[in-house]
Amino acid sequence: MLQQCQRKATCRCSTVQNRGCGVIGMEQSYRSNMRSLSVDYSHGGKPTGFDVASMDVRAWLQQWPRVLSQLETLVVGLKRRQVSGPYNCAQFTVELYRNLVGSCKWGTAGQLMDAVREVGKELVAAKPSELAVGNMVRRVLYIIRDEYESAFSAGDGSGGGQAATSASLTSPSASRGGGGGGGGHGRANSRGESTPRGAATGGAGGAAGTAEGGGLGPSLTGMLGGQFGATDFGRSCPDLRQNVVASISELMTELRDMRGVIKEHAKDTIHANEVILTFGNSATVDAFLKAAAGGAKDGLNFRVIVAEAAPLCSGHVLAKSLAKHGIDTTVISDSAVFAMMARVNKVILSTHAVVANGGLIALNGSHAVALAANDLSVPVVCVTGLFKLCPLFPHDQDTFNCLLSPAAVMSFKDKDSMRNVEVLNPAYDYIPPNLVDLYITNMGGLQPSYIYRLLAEYYHRDDLIISPSDEQAS
Amino acid sequence: MDEGRKVISDDFARQLSPETALPVAAIKTLIGVIRRSTNTTIRGMEAELKEAIQLMEDKMETDSPDNSRSTISLTSGCQLFLRHVSRFVAESVGEEGFDESCKQQLLHRGERFAEVSETSREQIARLGHNFVRDGTVVLTHGYSRCALHLLLMAAETKVTLACSLREGRPDGAGFKAAAALSKVGVPVTVVLDSAVGYHMEMADLCVTGAEGVLENGGIVNKVGTFQMAVLAKAYNVPFYVAAESYKFARLFPLDQRDLPKGKIPRAPFAAPEGTPESVATFSPSVDYTSAEYITLLFTDLGALTPSAVSDELIRLYGEA
């Protein structure tokens, strides 16, 4: 049955063109693949925990065909670019993990983390340039660590200081944990909302933020507190499954609500009669600009200039959508960006990923836009959800890039007369952090120099490297 | 008492070897102080440690009469260790006092701390060497074990890598580093300190070590680092610093001269013969590079932006 599913997935993929087809269409086809999977709970023998040393993760997952086929479908979808764009990738990855944690019998927390890591390797290898996939793998690992450690630190709290982990010593996570084992979700929430926003609003918030920043990452404080070795993840923790699934569900909610939260900042960012320049198409920018424009009653009047982002010209899609909403929209070619920049008040960019130093991996051509803006001192604002925050460093322009089909740049008709011409169509640009003035995220407005703090907030240091390709960039 | 001072001083001298960093030697000496101590109160113990630190600082100054070595890292390492002791006390000793088992626990943790400090250079190299890509030209300054380790590890994995070292006047430490790099087959050129402007346009990145990392994320390092950093910024060349976290010092200098007394050692520098008496010479052996010129710091805590350094320090010392 599994093979059937896979075949179906492959067939469908082959009918979908790799490029030029709307992402939405691809997502639908991926969804229908998912639906076609029927449930089969029967498996021979007793399910065994995952042992990374002795078995392949696929072999282990065969005990739960449903999860396995979900994995296979996602891997195929990523490879065929049926699933593309950071948001879709993140969403499907988290969905897969929720099922994996919820329905598989994985043994200890350590074994679960091994399984999560192995599955993560498969997913990242399927399409390394989708950095959001790796981010979500790391988030899930962090959730497991967090739930595991808080389960024990809450239990040990009364037994005197010596048993408490250093993580709980360095930060008020001990006091958060004090609420008891069931307080998992509330904690995650308060951490997510209060800390970064408080610290991001200005220097004054810094002191309040620092104490919380301890997290699970390494620090001078942790080093002094005796946090040297790795935590033992072998102990049994009865509520772990339930807590982790709850936290992952929360992560899914966070993903879903992200755009709504970002949108709330639109009215504060864009003012009446401003001229906004944006580049290419992005659902987040689209929602952001529409939120700023408001409705008929509380409408705000501003102009948007959309650079088309050749060769794919995704800017046309955005322009149409904005114009339909009644926003004064102008489309320009990418080469006219500098000429127009003088009359622009703000540049609003979307991004493919935010990297560890606060720079961006964004649509090819964005760097030129950011440089033009910088030259004329026009503020560059990047609107992005924090699931795009990637803990790796971009060492040069090629680290996180991939090449797309050259057909968009030059027609195949000309191939005979252009025999010796190499045609390149890179997908992304790296924009260094000094060219970005502000990030508007689901945590509020952030400066590029603040990004490193969020990394410790979301990811554990030991999880940074998931696949061999990450090692190049860590 | 003098007997005790002599033991500490000898112990410190024994720990100081070319391969051991100054702060690590100091921390090991302090562990020795705890081991020998017969103090039964924590206050007494802390006083004893402070005295030992003072002793080591004095020794550093008297041993190098011209003050050629900076004591910033010694002080920061010791401060960190003291902080470690007082945190330990706050956590696990409580009111009832300091007994033998506490002492053993403290010693055990202290030793782990020293171990971790020793392996940090390796960690930094592992973290930083990926920033050096195939075929890059690296400009570095003087002799830093940390930066050198990083470059050696990069040289192991990369096909081509060219290094330009600045000679590192006045002690010519650049030649020492150049020898180590050329031994593993890295093409090395030693250039004049004054020619850094000439070479900057050819460099892809700069890496240096640091004597001390300051609270604002700036560094104090061998004289000449500052001009290199300014030029790197002018040419948009990334400027990286490799430094262990025990070098994080609680200093916030406002300008070059705003470092505590004795923390800016002088380098030997004599005027040529025939120079009139009225001409003064002055040669500091370290300078201060402010945070704005530094792209990233590679430390054993990860690759940090300069602002992350102050964060770490505030988190550690701020909650006293």
Residues A97-127 have pLDDT tens digits of 999 998 888 888 888 888 999 999 999 988 8
Highest mean pLDDT among A15-24, A104-113, A411-420 belongs to: A104-113
The reply to whether residue B315 touches residue A206, judged by beta carbons under 8 angstroms, is no
The reply to whether residue A357 touches residue B318, judged by beta carbons under 8 angstroms, is no
**Which residue from B39, B243, B213, B317 is spatially nearest to A224, judged by alpha carbons?**
B317
pLDDT on residue A294: 84
Q: How far is CA A200 from CA A207, A257, A276, A377, B118, in A?
A: 11, 21, 24, 23, 35
Which of B109, B111, B130 is the best substitution to test chain A (most A C-beta atoms within 10 A)? B130
The reply to whether residue B130 touches residue A161, judged by beta carbons under 8 angstroms, is no
pLDDT on residue B1: 52
Beta bridge partners of B284: B266
The reply to whether residue A452 touches residue B83, judged by beta carbons under 8 angstroms, is no
Does the beta carbon of A162 lie under 8 angstroms from any beta carbon of chain B? yes
DSSP letters along A225-278, please? TT--SPPP--S--TTHHHHHHHHHHHHHHHHHHHHHHHHTTHHHH--TT-EEEE
How many other CB atoms sit within 10 Å of the CB of residue B157? 12
CATH of the domain at B79: 1.20.120
Of the three residues B73, B91, B121, the one that is the final residue of a domain is B121
Q: Cβ contacts of residue A251 below 8 Å, gap of 6+?
A: A94, A136, A139, A140, A143
CA angle A280, A283, A289 (to 5 degrees): 85
Measured in degrees and rounded to the nearest 5, phi and psi for residue A139 equal -60, -45
Check whether residue B22 and residue B149 sit in a common domain: no
Considering CB atoms only, which of B91, B115, B311 is closest to A210? B311
Does the beta carbon of A219 lie under 8 angstroms from any beta carbon of chain B? yes
Check whether residue B131 and residue B256 sit in a common domain: yes
Check whether residue B105 and residue B150 sit in a common domain: no
Does the beta carbon of A221 lie under 8 angstroms from any beta carbon of chain B? yes
Of the three residues B121, B145, B165, the one that is the final residue of a domain is B121
The least confident of A306-310, A463-467, B259-263 is B259-263
Does the beta carbon of A196 lie under 8 angstroms from any beta carbon of chain B? no
Does the beta carbon of A396 lie under 8 angstroms from any beta carbon of chain B? yes
Considering CB atoms only, which of A225, A228, A358 is closest to B87? A225
Check whether residue B193 and residue B107 sit in a common domain: no
Beta strand ranges found along chain B (DSSP E): 136-141, 161-166, 188-191, 205-208, 212-213, 219-222, 239-242, 286-289, 296-299, 302-304
Predicted confidence band of residue A179 (pLDDT cuts 50, 70, 90): very low
Residues of B within 8 A of A214 (CB-CB) are 315
Q: Cβ contacts of residue A392 below 8 Å, gap of 6+?
A: A131, A134, A355, A356, A400, A464, A470, A473, A474
Task: Describe the strand order of the beta sheet including A346-349 as a list of residue ranges.
Answer: A328-332, A303-307, A275-279, A346-349, A380-383, A438-441, A444-446
Q: What is the CA radius of gyration of chain B?
A: 21
Q: By CA distance, what is B158's nearest residue in A?
A: A472
Check whether residue B243 and residue B264 sit in a common domain: yes
Check whether residue B229 and residue B249 sit in a common domain: yes
The reply to whether residue A219 touches residue B316, judged by beta carbons under 8 angstroms, is yes
Residues of B within 8 A of A207 (CB-CB) are 314, 318
DSSP for residue A201: T
Distance CA A355, CA A430 (A): 9
Distance (Å) from the C-alpha of residue A84 to the closest C-alpha of chain B? Answer: 28
Q: How far is CA A399 from CA A86, A356, A473, B46, B163, in A?
A: 17, 13, 7, 50, 22
| 3-state per-residue secondary structure call for B207-254 | EECCCEECCCCCEEEECCHHHHHHHHHHCCCCEEEECCHHHECCCCCC
Amino acid at A283: A
ipTM of the complex: 0.76
pLDDT tens, position by position, A355-413: 988 999 999 999 999 999 999 999 999 999 999 999 888 876 666 788 888 888 888 88
- Statement: residue A203 has pLDDT above 80: no
Considering CB atoms only, which of B80, B295, B315 is closest to A214? B315
Predicted confidence band of residue A291 (pLDDT cuts 50, 70, 90): very high
Check whether residue B116 and residue B218 sit in a common domain: no
Amino acid at A113: M
CATH of the domain at B150: 3.40.50.10470
pLDDT on residue A15: 35
pLDDT tens, position by position, B202-255: 899 999 999 899 988 999 988 889 999 999 999 999 999 999 888 888 888 888
Check whether residue B260 and residue B285 sit in a common domain: yes
Burial label for A268, CB within 10 Å (0-12, 13-18, 19+), is: exposed
Check whether residue B166 and residue B219 sit in a common domain: yes
DSSP for residue B272: P
DSSP for residue B41: S
Residue at token pair 């308060």: A190
Highest mean pLDDT among A45-54, A414-423, A442-451, B88-97 belongs to: A442-451
Check whether residue B312 and residue B242 sit in a common domain: yes
pLDDT on residue B263: 60
Residues of B within 8 A of A356 (CB-CB) are 303
Check whether residue B110 and residue B132 sit in a common domain: no
Distance CA A26, CA B114 (A): 55
Residues of B within 8 A of A220 (CB-CB) are 80, 245, 248, 301, 312-313, 315-316
Q: Which parts of chain B have pLDDT scores under 50?
A: 65-66, 320
The reply to whether residue B308 touches residue A217, judged by beta carbons under 8 angstroms, is no
pLDDT on residue A90: 94
Predicted confidence band of residue A40 (pLDDT cuts 50, 70, 90): very low
* Structural domains in chain B (count): 2
Domains along chain A with CATH numbers = 2-148+237-257 (1.20.120.420), 166-230 (no CATH), 264-451 (3.40.50.10470)
- Mean pLDDT over each residue of chain A, to the nearest integer: 76
pLDDT on residue A218: 58
Pull the structure tokens for residue B240.
């990286």
Of the three residues B121, B154, B185, the one that is the final residue of a domain is B121
Considering CB atoms only, which of A170, A217, A474 is closest to B130? A474
Check whether residue B99 and residue B239 sit in a common domain: no
| Domain enclosing residue B176, as ranges | 126-317
Backbone φ/ψ region at A36: left (φ over 0), alpha (ψ -120 to 50), beta: alpha
How many other CB atoms sit within 10 Å of the CB of residue A409? 12
CA A99 to chain centre: 19
The least confident of A156-160, A179-183, A429-433 is A179-183
